[in-house]
Structure 1
Amino acid sequence: MSAFKAFKACVPIEWSDKLYITLVRGIPGTRELHRRTLEALRLRKCNRTVVRKNTPTVRGMLQQVKRLVAIETKEMHEARKRREANHRALRPPLVISHHPAPKTESFQLS
């Protein structure tokens, strides 16, 4: 079992009032039933996220297409967005000087 599947397996989605559903795999090559389920969830393109209420109907639809989507709670979604924003944040430029350091006069006590 991969780490991502283990992570998805331990997510307590029953306790969250809203689910953030992201399509992570492509639609071409999938079954007609899966395509219609994704259409009902309004997932049309990869890496798009929709927010749905956590109802037994939606959870049943997600069970059908669980290999095509990633399911997150609100806290998980916000944490992932913060992590991605920090990764893309501008950093100060690294300035490297190739000139030798200036020599300082050393004082000798006599």
Structure 2
Amino acid sequence: MSAYKAFKACVPVEWSDKLYITLVRGMPGTRELHRLTLEALCLRKSNRTIVRKNTPTVRGMLQQVKRLVAIETKEMYEARKQKEANHRALQPPLVISHHPAPKTDSS
């Protein structure tokens, strides 16, 4: 289990005042009720994230479509975005010299 997944498993969603909800699976092939629930949450395209207040109504809607969405707290969302930014950051160029190293006298 990665550190991020371990952290995600330990943080109770009920304690957070806002929820970051990301649609991770597409809507085609899902039930009509699930599609209507996702539209009520304003999730229409995959990999889009919305922010909602943590209320029992929203948690009930998320319980209905839990296999289609990823639910994160603010800290979890920022940690994931930071990890993605570090992954996309430019790496220093790799310099390879094809010339042999100069010989030194070891006597």
Tell me how far apart the structure 2 counterparts of residues 92 and 6 of structure 1 sit (CA, whole Å): 31
CA contact (8 A) 1:18 1:51 kept: yes
Alpha carbons of structure 1 residues 60 and 103: separation in structure 2 relative to 1, 3 Å: same
Shift of 1:103: 2.7
User: Which consecutive residues of structure 2, in runs of 5 or more, have no partner in the other structure?
Assistant: none
Show the counterpart of 1:57.
57
Q: TM-score, normalised by structure 1?
A: 0.86
Secondary structure of the 2:22 match is: strand
Deviations 1:17-62 (A, max 9, x none): 0000000001000000000000000001111000000000000000
Q: Report how many residues are paired.
A: 106
| Identity %, equivalent residues | 85
Secondary structure of the 1:99 match is: coil
Tell me how far apart the structure 2 counterparts of residues 97 and 38 of structure 1 sit (CA, whole Å): 55
CA contact (8 A) 2:8 2:76 kept: no
Shift of 1:79: 0.3
- Residue 25 of structure 1 aligns with an amino acid whose one-letter code is R
CA contact (8 A) 1:20 1:77 kept: yes
Tell me how far apart the structure 1 counterparts of residues 37 and 20 of structure 2 sit (CA, whole Å): 16
Shift of 1:102: 1.9
> Once superposed, which parts of structure 1, at least 4 consecutive aligned residues long, lie more than 3 Å away?
2-11
Q: Which protein shows a greater Rg?
A: 1
- Residue 47 of structure 1 aligns with an amino acid whose one-letter code is N
Show the counterpart of 2:40.
40
Q: TM-score, normalised by structure 2?
A: 0.88
Secondary structure of the 1:25 match is: coil
Secondary structure of the 1:19 match is: strand
Q: How does 1:1-110 map to 2 (within 5 A)?
A: 10-104=10-104, 106=105
User: Which consecutive residues of structure 1, in runs of 5 or more, have no partner in the other structure?
Assistant: none
Deviations 1:81-105 (A, max 9, x none): 001101111010111111111234x
Shift of 1:5: 8.8
